Amino acid sequence: MDLNRNAILRRLDTVIVHYGEANERNEMDFRRDVDMIISQLEIYDQVWYIRHMPHKGEHSREAIILAEEFIARLEEIPDGGAECFPFETIDELKREYEKERGKEAGHHV
> Would residue 73 count as lying in a domain?
yes
What range defines the domain where residue 93 resides? 5-102
> Would residue 109 count as lying in a domain?
no
What global pTM score does this model have? 0.86
> Would residue 32 count as lying in a domain?
yes
- 18 vs 103: CA distance, rounded Å: 36
Q: Is the pLDDT of residue 82 over 80?
A: yes
| pLDDT tens profile 15-47 | 999 999 999 999 999 999 999 999 999 999 999
> Would residue 41 count as lying in a domain?
yes
> Would residue 107 count as lying in a domain?
no
Of 85, 88, 62, 77, nearest to 8 (Cα)? 62
> Would residue 78 count as lying in a domain?
yes
Q: Which residues contact 61 (CB under 8 A, 6 or more apart)?
A: 48, 52, 54, 104, 107, 109
> Would residue 40 count as lying in a domain?
yes
Angle between the 61-75 and 27-52 helix axes, to the nearest 10 degrees?
Answer: 160
Total structural domains in the chain?
1
Residue 92's CB is within 10 A of a number of other CB atoms, namely: 13
